């Protein structure tokens, strides 16, 4: 972010005070806004989370006497530069942490002077991935499956705190209980990183949990009933909200993602929302036409009319006999006919075929190929 971007921010307006406000007035305004917008008090309100960040950033500047003086000087300069034309490094202004500033006031509000009582931010649970194999008919009709899951979860001994049961925590000194540290990226750019000392938990214990060795994490083995909707396709990934790993400190659970594998059917195939079916027909049915009864999954058979001269590989559509869509409608059944050639024929059938050959000898099938060649 450039100097001009910082200069354009009115930290006094963010805090709702005048430029001439006293240090006590600024501190009082910050406390009021921090209480009203703190994430611990509004875990599900993202707008207040952003408002809290703005208020904290503003107080970090105008709540410190030295920073406030430098900030006022910069805002009074044309374009934020001195008479000599040298640019002012705003990273000096915003990249420092003052002792007795934001951290102390924050503690006064939420700790009451006792660091051990500081509240910890809720953390969302881990998302979990698994695979479920179901039958072809189950994919078309929908099914409830039981899934055995093993996921990351809070340690059962310390309930995710990372501390030995019976011991008291203290606020992490490295991040001052924020759960993150600010890493300077040069200039006015800063990046928040998870605190390496507390792992983002904000609190640390002098005696770690003997089970998880201070990590606060363990494994959870459980069974979950998952509903697979009708019409699901092979390889489709389904999201089940709130069925993932448990959250920490009152945080919501993660989600469960199920990749569905659908077993093949001996008779039917699948093409999107349509079912496919290969149906053999005899030579005479292909030449002369006829009516062929075909099976329909889960329903009564239907009669398919085969017109005279039907070639092998032609596909017919039977509407509304396919897979169920999300809106409740159904795809179609696509029937592909294949002319069946018998491996052996009796004497009478052979004579009939030879008669057919003799009748069509003057119309060879492959003559056009030689003309094109």
Read off the pLDDT of each residue in 221-235 and give the average, rounded to a whole number.
88
* 126 or 305: which leads in pLDDT: 305
For the chain, first and last CA: distance in Å? 72
pLDDT of 318 strictly over 90: yes
Grade residue 184 by pLDDT with cuts at 50, 70 and 90: low
3-110: CATH superfamily: DnaJ domain (1.10.287.110)
Query: Which pLDDT value is given to residue 190?
Result: 65
For the chain, percent of residues with pLDDT exceeding 90: 27
Q: CB count, 10 Å around CB of 261?
A: 12
Read off the pLDDT of each residue in 113-134 and give the average, rounded to a whole number.
70
pLDDT digits (tens, 9 = 90+) for 46-60: 788 788 888 888 888
Query: Which pLDDT value is given to residue 269?
Result: 94
Query: Do 302 and 321 contact (CB within 8 A), yes or no?
Result: yes
Q: Please tell me if the domain spanning 3-110 has the same topology as the one spanning 268-359.
A: no
Read off the pLDDT of each residue in 214-224 and give the average, rounded to a whole number.
80
Instruction: Report pTM.
Output: 0.50
* 178 or 144: which leads in pLDDT: 144
pLDDT digits (tens, 9 = 90+) for 15-58: 899 988 998 898 888 888 888 887 767 777 878 878 888 888 88
Geometric angle at alpha carbon 67, from 66 and 71, rounded to 5°: 125
Q: Pick the range with the lowest mean pLDDT from 171-185, 198-212, 321-335, 340-354.
A: 171-185
Q: What are phi and psi of 140, to 5 degrees?
A: -75, -35
Token pair belonging to 91: 């990273």
Grade residue 120 by pLDDT with cuts at 50, 70 and 90: low
Query: Across all residues in the chain, what is the average pLDDT?
Result: 80
Assign residue 46 a region (left: φ > 0; alpha: ψ between -120 and 50; beta: otherwise): alpha
Q: CB count, 10 Å around CB of 336?
A: 14
Grade residue 121 by pLDDT with cuts at 50, 70 and 90: low
Q: CB count, 10 Å around CB of 258?
A: 22
Assign residue 346 a region (left: φ > 0; alpha: ψ between -120 and 50; beta: otherwise): beta
Query: Which pLDDT value is given to residue 12?
Result: 86
Read off the pLDDT of each residue in 117-122 and give the average, rounded to a whole number.
56
Query: Which pLDDT value is given to residue 325?
Result: 87
pLDDT of 9 strictly over 80: no
pLDDT of 219 strictly over 70: yes
Grade residue 4 by pLDDT with cuts at 50, 70 and 90: very low
CATH T-level topology, domain 268-359: HSP40/DNAj peptide-binding domain (2.60.260)
Contacts of 99 (CB under 8 A, 6+ apart): none
What is the domain partition of the chain in residue ranges? 3-110, 268-359
């Amino acid at each position: 972010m450039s100097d001009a971007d910082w200069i354009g921010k009115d930290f006094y307006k963010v805090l709702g005070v005048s430029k001439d406000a006293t240090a006590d007035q600024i501190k009082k305004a910050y406390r009021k806004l921090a209480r009203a917008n703190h994430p611990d008090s509004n875990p599900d309100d993202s707008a207040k989370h952003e408002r809290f960040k703005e208020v904290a950033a503003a107080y970090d500047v105008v709540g410190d006497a030295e920073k406030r003086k430098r900030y006022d000087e910069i805002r009074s300069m044309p374009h934020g530069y001195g008479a000599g034309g040298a640019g002012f490094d705003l990273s000096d202004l915003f990249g420092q942490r003052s002792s007795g500033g934001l951290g102390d006031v924050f503690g006064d509000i939420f700790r009451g002077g006792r660091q051990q009582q500081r509240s910890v931010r809720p953390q969302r649970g881990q998302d979990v991935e698994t695979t479920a194999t179901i039958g072809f008919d189950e994919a078309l009709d929908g099914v409830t499956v039981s899934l055995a899951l093993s996921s990351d979860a809070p340690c059962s001994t310390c309930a995710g705190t990372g501390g030995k049961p019976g011991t008291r925590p203290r606020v992490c000194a490295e991040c001052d209980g924020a759960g993150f540290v600010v890493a300077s990226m040069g200039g006015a750019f800063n990046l928040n990183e998870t605190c390496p000392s507390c792992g983002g938990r904000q609190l640390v214990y002098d005696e770690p949990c003997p089970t998880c060795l201070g990590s606060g994490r363990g494994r959870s083995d459980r069974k979950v009933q998952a509903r697979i909707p009708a019409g699901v396709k092979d390889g489709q990934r389904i999201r089940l909200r709130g069925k993932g790993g448990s959250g920490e400190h009152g945080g919501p659970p993660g989600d469960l993602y199920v990749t569905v594998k659908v077993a093949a059917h001996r008779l039917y195939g699948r093409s999107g929302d349509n079912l496919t079916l290969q149906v053999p027909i005899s030579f005479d049915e292909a030449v002369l036409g006829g009516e062929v009864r075909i099976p329909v999954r889960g329903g009564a058979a239907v009669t398919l009319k085969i017109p005279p001269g039907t070639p092998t590989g032609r596909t017919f559509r039977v509407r509304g006999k396919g897979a169920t869509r999300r809106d409740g409608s159904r795809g179609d059944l696509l029937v592909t006919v294949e002319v069946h050639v018998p491996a052996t024929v009796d004497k009478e059938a052979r004579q009939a075929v030879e008669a057919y050959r003799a009748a069509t000898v003057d119309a060879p099938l492959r003559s056009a190929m030689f003309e094109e060649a």
